[in-house]
Amino acid sequence: MLLTIAAVLFILWLLGFSLQLGGGLIHILIVIALILFIYNLIVSRRSA
- The Cα–Cα gap between 28 and 36 comes to 12
- Closest by CA to 29, choosing from 1, 5, 47, 4, is 5
The answer on pLDDT for 32 being more than 80 is yes
pLDDT value for 6? 77
Do residues 40 and 2 make contact, with C-beta atoms less than 8 angstroms apart? yes
Residue 18: CB atoms within 10 A of its CB come to 7
Tens-digit pLDDT profile for residues 4-28: 887 887 787 777 767 665 667 767 7
- The Cα–Cα gap between 7 and 4 comes to 5
- Closest by CA to 9, choosing from 35, 41, 34, 40, is 34
Average pLDDT over residues 18-44: 78
